[in-house]
Amino acid sequence: MHASTGNAVTIRFALPAPELRAYVTTYYHTDVLCSPSEPVLEDYLHPEWPNLRFLTKGSSHSAIGSEPLSESPEFSVTGPTSRAARFRLSSGRNWGIGLLPLGWSALINAQAGDYADRSVDGAQDTAFEAFLPLAKALVETDGDFDRGLSEIERHMAGLADKVSPQDRAISAINAALVDPELSSVKDLAERVGMNVRSLERLSRRAFGFTPKLLLRRQRFLRSLSRFMLDPSMKWLSTLDYQYHDQAHFVRDFKRFMGMSPSAYAKLEKPFLIAAARARMEIAGAAVQGLHNPDRDV
């Protein structure tokens, strides 16, 4: 576990038990204390894999892409995203569980593509009813990190015990996507031993998007993560080698973040810079989309 603090924000990450690491990226806890002069803190979350979030104290508002901000429910579920999510938090606390594509496929009775670039109230959607007891238990921990983490670990272990064998191709595709040398859908299909059409069907079901968009997203995230770990870097120094030039990168940046790199660089980032560094230390990747489930930690 690791804590990273600053601007009255404390973010802690914890890795799941070894038997759950094929399904879960990390568990994370955010504690926010806003000053009277600044009652909410705002940030932008980059595209990522699905997340379950449990608001145990305070209020939260969020929006994906160009949507208007709306109040977040106490138990919110966000599917895989290809757009930035804008969010505001007041003083309070929340827990999160990051799911890998295999985790969504194994634990959620719904296709990832149906929740792509969407956030829903987990208490109102039967696909997530298995997590309702956890939502209640986390509220009762009253902000105690160790108690909250124990509740999550116990609940997730119970769910994993009931999981039926999953398609190994999902894990193979995930492992290929985090390889920076992979650059084309054809190469991805060959790597996992599938024809392109079958790959596209499975990709939409378990990953939420087409293989082409996923590869484009991974390339972008590799560049963005370098900046998040060292915001003093010039964008040109962060570019993934697969970008032809800076204009190519700028187009992707606008597609995924909804703004230019220069506009993003000027924003205050009370959560994401600290989270990237803390996450890198414990999980080996600054952002969830680059998480390698096979990494030896």
Segments of 179-252 assigned E as strands: none
d(CA 129, CA 80): 19
Rg of the chain, C-alpha, whole Å: 18
129-134's contacts with Cβ under 8 Å and 24+ in sequence apart are 130/159, 131/52, 131/75, 131/155, 132/75, 134/54
% of the chain with per-residue pLDDT over 90: 87
Does 163 score more than 80 pLDDT?
A: no
How confident is residue 2, by pLDDT bands cut at 50, 70 and 90? very low
pLDDT of residue 56: 97
Q: Which residues of 22-40 are buried (b: 16+ CB within 10 A; e: fewer)?
A: bbbbbbbbbbbebeeeeee
For the structural domain made of 2-161, what CATH number should be given? Answer: 2.60.120.10
**Is 34 within 8 Å of 61 (Cβ atoms)?**
no
Residue with tokens 């124990």: 150
Residue with tokens 């969830």: 288
Fold of 168-290: Arc Repressor Mutant, subunit A (1.10.10)
Q: Which of 39-53, 97-111, 120-134, 151-165 has the lowest mean pLDDT?
A: 151-165
Q: What is the pTM of this model?
A: 0.94
- In terms of Cα–Cα distance, which of 162, 138, 182 is closest to 290? 182
Burial class (CB in 10 A: 0-12, 13-18, 19+), 236: exposed
**Is 49 within 8 Å of 85 (Cβ atoms)?**
no
- pLDDT tens for each residue of 47-84: 999 999 999 999 999 999 999 999 999 999 999 999 99
pLDDT of residue 6: 41
**Is 10 within 8 Å of 1 (Cβ atoms)?**
no
**Is 43 within 8 Å of 271 (Cβ atoms)?**
yes
pLDDT of residue 168: 86
Burial class (CB in 10 A: 0-12, 13-18, 19+), 167: middle
d(CA 42, CA 105): 31
pLDDT of residue 5: 42
- Number of Cβ within 10 Å of residue 124's Cβ equals 10
Does 10 score more than 50 pLDDT?
A: yes
pLDDT of residue 165: 64
d(CA 111, CA 96): 20
Q: Where are the domains of the chain?
A: 2-161, 168-290
